[in-house]
Amino acid sequence: MAADTPRTRFGKVAVLFGGRSAEREISLRSGGGVLAALVRQGVDAHAFDPAQRPMDDLAREGFERAFIALHGRYGEDGTVQGALELLGIPYTGSGVMASAVAMDKVFTKRVWVTHGLPTPKFEVVRRGDVLRELPDRLGLPLILKPPHEGSTIGVSKVAGYSQVKDAFELAARYDDEVLAEQFIEGRELTVALLGRGAGTRALPVIEIVAPGGNYDYQNKYFGDQTKYLCPAPLPDAVAARVREVSVLAYRALDCEGWARADLMLDREDRPWLLEINTSPGMTDHSLVPMAARAVGMSYDALVLEILAGARLKVESHA
């Protein structure tokens, strides 16, 4: 009888990273970290870039599991998940529907609203709409963002009427529809989540303190001025409420595996859900590994736990 080792337990594993989205550069870094961690632990893991190879190579080459370290479109939006379901290869993270809904910030907010979860007021705007009236309805400042991108790509904070058009044009480079959202003044928080269903657990809350309050692409991935406070310096009751809301948001979308919920905490210590990332970053700057370290879980242990949860979601409901 073969010994139970990571190689025998998981079989041949593909780490999917790179891809074709605007977040390719970050995905390459995330996937490189995941691949190195799996190899260190004796897993038979190999790099696989869907932008450079057809997905059916996974089946032809005998891969038995897939660790999805793709970000954004064609990786976090249900497309790759659907391909893996068709190929019969168990994969990490959320399924097709949860991935697709979570990738669309508008649909995500609609689901949360139906569940009575707190999220800022919002509108969907398209080319030809009267943009000048947005501040009258949502107040100033407000946020404009493309609903299907991540990593703060195409996001603008609008402080005055004269800035609305340029902010819309920036977001519209990435999406036909643009999400206009009420700005919540307060503290920026994020919560890493692991598991599925009733077994979902929230890791310690992280507070993000960016230079000038501007947590943009540069400050998120490449700068060293942003401060991450983990655990966030919050009263116990407030931290517990933030974690509770994050778990409810995750479960409302039927997420699983791992994810990261982003929130604002207003001046009255009320949490407001902004979005949820179903394939969050795993780089050296990333927040899920940081939260795991706060509870004594190493990067390698985190990666192995996520891989252990890989499964086919459609087949499991048959």
- What is the separation of C-alpha 110 from the centre of its chain, rounded to a whole number of angstroms? 18
- The four Cα atoms 67, 73, 78, 82 give a dihedral, to 10 degrees, of -70
126 is catalytic: no
Report which DSSP code applies to 29: H
262 is catalytic: yes
23 is catalytic: yes
What is d(CA 84, CA 166) in angstroms, rounded to the nearest whole number? 39
List 151, 156, 246, 279, catalytic entry: 151
- The DSSP bridge pattern shows strands 177-182 and 122-126 to be antiparallel
223 is catalytic: no
> Token digits for 73?
């479109």
List 262, 279, 286, 299, catalytic entry: 262
List 24, 196, 275, 279, catalytic entry: 275
- What is the separation of C-alpha 34 from the centre of its chain, rounded to a whole number of angstroms? 16
What is d(CA 122, CA 69) in angstroms, rounded to the nearest whole number? 30
In single-letter form, the type of residue at position 33 comes to: G
List 174, 221, 250, 299, catalytic entry: 221
299 is catalytic: no
Q: With helix as H, strand as E and coil as C, how does 47-101 read?
A: EECCCCCCCCHHHHCCCCEEEECCCCCCCCCCHHHHHHHHHCCCECCCCHHHHHH
228 is catalytic: no
219 is catalytic: no
296 is catalytic: no
Query: Among 52, 54, 69, which Cα is nearest to 13's?
Result: 69
CB atoms within 10 A of CB 123: 16
List 260, 279, 286, 299, catalytic entry: 260
List 18, 19, 23, 104, catalytic entry: 23
Please, what's the largest Cα pairwise distance for the chain? 71
Residues marked as catalytic: 23, 151, 221, 260, 262, 275, 277, 281
